[in-house]
Amino acid sequence: MNLRDFRYLLAVTEYGHFGRAAQACGVSQPTLSVQLRKLEEQLGLALFERDRKTVVPTSACERLIGHVRAAVAEADAILAAARDLCDPLAGNFRLGIIPTLAPYLLPLVFAPLREALPTLTLEPWEDQTLTLLDRLRAHELDAALLATEVDGTEFTSQPLFDEPFLAALPPEHPLAAREVVAESDLAQDILVLADGHCLRDQALAACGQGGTLGGALGGTLRAASLSTLLSMVAAGYGTTLIPGLAAGTAQDMGIVLRPLKERTGRTVRLAWRSSFPRRAAAEAVGRVIGDRLRGFAAATGPI
């Protein structure tokens, strides 16, 4: 039993004439005769009453024809849907983004993405690195914007741009007087994010990994978001190290920003499953974001 046979069947019921039905189907008349005869044998019933003059569907055929029409319609729907879906640059694209990047990057790239990939619907999803990787693994995300290396063969990643870190200081802080701040100087009273944020680890590493954390809150505060962290800095509770894209927000809060001596930073990259079939979409998204942010390191380096 075959969808093609169903189309033949519908053509014959429509035209009441094997020859014209065959023409409509783009096959020869014997082909239709033979195939429909076979279909009748498979179903064990006569589908047409062949009179010398006319070809009339039997009552059994009329009982079946609704299902036949439905089956063919579903097949056509599959083809039509496939046509819509076959462009890898169209459709939904579920993009994971780490929380220290999302609020500052998304506003910059949303419009360019929409312009460059008008048929792609971006579905951003904000979570920490490990969660994003889990969701990638579970096929719940198509790709993720991360600030860490991705190793192993499971994922493929593409570096998009370098984002320098900046020292974030309360205006009255002693270090605020300097033009450039050494990473190690921040260690004294640095405030950091909660566990799981890659920025936390990177900030600690930059300021001298095992170094003792000074300050009143350095050892206890585990800010859940960069926004909270900035508020604490603005309130004078300590210093921190922020990603360059957050500079504008920090400045608006009255925080003093200084470039770092070692020019420490992070590389933002896009990662996807190596087996992800819409690699083209991932690369296109990466390219648009990269193009928009290229030269960001140079521009904000000296502020």
**What is each CA distance from 122 to 34, 102, 112, 130, 146, in whole angstroms?**
51, 13, 12, 21, 17
Supply the minimum distance, in Å, between the C-beta of residue 55 and DNA.
Answer: 5
Single residue of 37, 38, 67, 263 touching its own copies by CB under 8 A: 67
46 sits near its own copies (criterion: CB under 8 A): yes
Supply the minimum distance, in Å, between the C-beta of residue 79 and DNA.
Answer: 15
Residues that bind DNA (CB under 7 A): 2, 4, 17-19, 26-31, 33-38, 50, 52-53, 55, 153
Report residue 53 as tokens: 């003059």
Helix and strand element counts for the chain (H, E): 12, 9
User: CA 30, CA 18: separation in Å to the nearest integer?
Assistant: 9
60 sits near its own copies (criterion: CB under 8 A): yes
184 sits near its own copies (criterion: CB under 8 A): no
What does 45 interact with, of its own copies, DNA, none (CB < 5 to 8 A by kind)?
Answer: its own copies
Single residue of 14, 19, 37, 92 touching its own copies by CB under 8 A: 92
Report residue 37 as tokens: 């005869």
Half-sphere exposure for 224 (CA within 13 Å, toward CB): 1
Burial class (CB in 10 A: 0-12, 13-18, 19+), 11: buried
Going by C-beta distance under 8 Å and a sequence separation of 6 or more, which residues neighbour residue 41?
Answer: none
Judged by beta carbon, residue 24 or residue 46, the one nearer its own copies is 46
Judged by beta carbon, residue 82 or residue 115, the one nearer its own copies is 82
Rule CB under 8 A: which residues touch its own copies? 1-3, 43-46, 49-51, 56, 58-60, 63-64, 67-68, 70-71, 74-75, 77-79, 81-83, 85-86, 88, 91-92, 139, 142, 273, 275-278
